Structure 1
Amino acid sequence: MRRAEHIDLVWLSEIQWDFLSTRKQRLLARFPEQWRILFVEPFAVGRRSHWLPVKRGRVTVVTVPFLKTVPPGKPQIFDNPLLLWIVTLAGRMLAEFWFQVLGFASTDRIIGLSNIYWGEAAASMPCRVRFYDANDDHLGFTPGQPWLRDSMRRFLDKADLIFYVSDLLLEKLRPRPEQHCVELGNGVEFDHFATHRTETPEKLRSLPRPILGYAGAMDWIDADLVASVAKAWPEYSVVLIGPAYACDWVEHHTALLDLPNVHWVGKVGYDELPAWVQRFDLALMPLERSPLKRASNPNKLYEYAAAGLPILAIDYCDAVRKASGVVHVASTLEEFVRLVPEALADGRKAARQAFARAHSWDTLAETMVCELRDAMQRRWS
């Protein structure tokens, strides 16, 4: 076991470390101090890149430009096999350079993948253990070119371990019968959201109560559902916190944003977010019921619960359904609107916080580390 305590891990990520705080950052920050971790992030236009390695805590972060679906929804430049081969080779050479320079070239390393564009390359990298972190339906975010599906399949077939956030997502991955698969949902920084914040954000001080609030990306909400709530309860304040990543989101949702009791705050920093969320009288999960969202496992479910808030959700994914013991879950738009008063009166704060604590990042990171250690031991034995 002593040998397994000194482990090198390379994580090929679809998200830049400094752009969004996702499960990767939360989990890796809790890995054992003896582990050395290299986080390979993609290049993205208009965002800060790390062409030279930087440290984020104990994690080393470096940018390696690699394959990208450009432009989305149009004929893809990487459908050309020769161009695909050339760009893949260039990306692999740069990655191998940093592996050598930073000391991550050992064949005893772990290769972790959440960026399926790296699938083909990562499948051929010598290592002791490969794992795939299925935190989302990654193919669902792309037009689904055959070469990309093949790239992902190649890695999955060689993976020793698959972490997945929902049963539906695992079904889509079609693992081999003998493959070790571990359900590892998303989680919460429990103390961050549970510790009471005394200061009320200025923008909330003058709003009529109760406040029905949503915190998350605007792109995924069911705007018609939110508008129905606002219209049915005009004396309540509906507060939306979070960014809209689609440049035309505001243009397409003026009818919602023009309602007098709907207040869109925009993006709020993670450090300040609990002070906003804790002022909600009812936390809303009015997410669209799309194939992408049905396979998801929402952080906001656990963040709301850690804050002790009553929660009202539309039945859009397995995680919400499984939390029905502490969450009010509606099957239809009409039921969602009708349940607002009942959900507001839900006083089961202790039960919700106990539920959130069971999904803390500390617990999830411990599970992931144990599974990776066991996989290393199986390969050594």
Structure 2
Amino acid sequence: MTMAAPPTGNGGEARSVLLCLSHLRWDFVFQRPQHLMTRAAQDHEVIFFEEPREEPIAAARLDLSPQPGGVLRAVPVLPHGLSVAESFAAQRALLDGLLAERAGRRLVAWFYTPMALVFADHIKADVTVYDCMDELSAFRGAPPAMLEMERRLLERADLVFTGGRSLYEAKRDRHPRVHCFPSSIDTAHFGRARGAVAEPASLAGIPHPRIGFFGVVDERMDLELVAAFAALRPDWQLVMLGPVVKIDAASLPQAPNLHWLGGRSYDELPEYLAHWDMGFMPFALNESTRFISPTKTPEFLAAGLPVISTPVVDVVRDYGEAGLVEIVESAAELAEQADALLARPRAPFLARVDLQLAKNSWDLTWARMAALLRVPERAGAGAVPATAMASGVANV
């Protein structure tokens, strides 16, 4: 069989390969990996290698599917019943076959999970990146080996990026080239919510005022806070968008003004936000939220919505102290702030929001990352000052 010619750049040279090893599925929730990889695909052949799924098959295979934005999605499909060692061996063999077809081209290995080293530690990459978007070891169900695997990944990485200031502060003394890239924003996409957008059918019949949440519903959500606010303000409607993961759906509080609508696509989100009166982020304060920098914060703001959040450290420092997000610690405070924000004039608030968001975009974040990828040997803290990068949304 004749092999296809490798994709080339504008100068005719073979494009470099960016292998992204992710614990998240491409079609789960459109977030940091998807934003960055679709932009990386403009200059690299991007392969998004996911965690495996199992099927009743005799031999392992790799399902490849091009995605909008130019990313090649790679899903290992393994036979049922493999041992842990057999599973890792199968993933390694599938990965080796994929990379063999691209031998001789510059390779960037981009890790979102340290656990991928179990089957990818032999890869000889020109540049290795650890994009630490979460403290995965603190999440429910994290493998016991996670911390050791992260130590090994930090040893071999050329560059370490973090998804927020708290993560930066936790990693900066563990590697000489750590750079802070907090959650960014596609302002044009979410800005659609400020215009005339048709109301989704699933919102029909839900009265106003509406306060909404979108994102993954898991152990990071303070369900007691949600239930208490619903009880305190029965005239407010709580609209909750997102898949339920790692917790029992039966544990979700129920009330006439609580609407659990399930997941929605990234493209649909502006249609929902356009018909909400406020956004809220009822994060529990626990180990799994200690280092988070929620991407939805600037997304709510770009949509033109006032936002209320529990005191997640990065939200407080990057948005609360700037007066862009109201911080509350109880259902009573949440109810009081919701009433006040509903009555507050919107125009002065939006003017301050737009000034801040104009300094921040996923395009700018990727451009800065790409510059570091081109010269990793010079990409220490002196090349792009880590302290400046960590100073909040105004710089990233």
Q: Under a length normalisation based on structure 1, what TM-score does the superposition of the two structures give?
A: 0.83
What does 1:209-248 correspond to in 2, within 5 Å?
A: 209-219=208-218, 220-246=220-246, 248=248
What is the SS of the residue equivalent to 1:339?
Answer: helix
Distance 1:90 1:45 in 2: 12
Identity of aligned residues (%): 26
Match of 1:355 in 2: 356
Pairwise CA distance, 1:194: 0.4
Q: Deviations over 1:193-233 (max 9, x none)?
A: 10224212234343332111212222232121112222222
What is the SS of the residue equivalent to 1:64?
Answer: strand
Pairwise CA distance, 1:308: 0.8
Query: Does 2:91 match 1:91?
Result: yes
Q: Is the 8 A contact 1:320 1:329 kept in 2?
A: yes
What is the SS of the residue equivalent to 1:283?
Answer: strand
Q: Deviations over 1:241-261 (max 9, x none)?
A: 222124622x113xx31x222
Given the alignment, which residue of 170, 177, 180 partners 1:180? 177
Query: Does 2:57 match 1:59?
Result: no
Q: Which amino acid aligns with 2:244?
A: A
Distance 1:280 1:266, change over 3 A: same
Q: Which amino acid aligns with 2:209?
A: P
Distance 1:55 1:151 in 2: 30
Distance 1:376 1:8 in 2: 19
What does 1:7-86 correspond to in 2, within 5 Å?
A: 7-31=16-40, 33-45=42-54, 51-56=62-67, 57-64=69-76, 83=85
Distance 1:230 1:214 in 2: 13
Q: Is the 8 A contact 2:61 2:94 kept in 1?
A: no
Distance 2:37 2:334 in 1: 37
Please identify, of 21-30 and 345-354, the stretch whose mean Cα deviation from structure 2 is larger.
345-354
Match of 2:319 in 1: 323
Pairwise CA distance, 1:338: 2.3
Distance 1:33 1:13, change over 3 A: same
Pairwise CA distance, 1:144: 5.4
Q: Is the 8 A contact 1:228 1:337 kept in 2?
A: no
Count of matched residue positions in the alignment of Structure 1 and Structure 2:
354
Please identify, of 132-141 and 203-212, the stretch whose mean Cα deviation from structure 2 is larger.
203-212
What is the SS of the residue equivalent to 2:308?
Answer: strand
Q: Is the 8 A contact 1:109 1:128 kept in 2?
A: yes
Distance 1:143 1:260, change over 3 A: closer
Pairwise CA distance, 1:323: 0.4
Match of 1:74 in 2: none
Q: Which amino acid aligns with 2:45?
A: R
Q: Which amino acid aligns with 2:88?
A: T
Q: Which amino acid aligns with 1:349?
A: L
Give RMSD over aligned pairs: 2.9
Distance 1:332 1:321 in 2: 19
Q: Is the 8 A contact 1:306 1:352 kept in 2?
A: yes
Q: Deviations over 1:97-153 (max 9, x none)?
A: 11012x1x3474211111221125544421221110101112223655554432221
Q: Which amino acid aligns with 1:164?
A: T
Distance 1:363 1:5, change over 3 A: farther
Pairwise CA distance, 1:350: 2.5
Q: Which amino acid aligns with 2:215?
A: G
Given the alignment, which residue of 106, 112, 116 partners 1:118? 116
Q: Is the 8 A contact 1:4 1:377 kept in 2?
A: no
Pairwise CA distance, 1:174: 6.2
Distance 2:158 2:172 in 1: 14
Distance 1:186 1:171 in 2: 15
Distance 1:53 1:99, change over 3 A: same
For structure 1, the 5+ residue unaligned runs are 71-76
Please identify, of 311-320 and 142-151, the stretch whose mean Cα deviation from structure 2 is larger.
142-151
What is the SS of the residue equivalent to 2:62?
Answer: coil
Match of 2:190 in 1: 193
Pairwise CA distance, 1:295: 0.9
For structure 2, the 5+ residue unaligned runs are 1-10, 381-396
Query: Does 2:373 match 1:372?
Result: yes
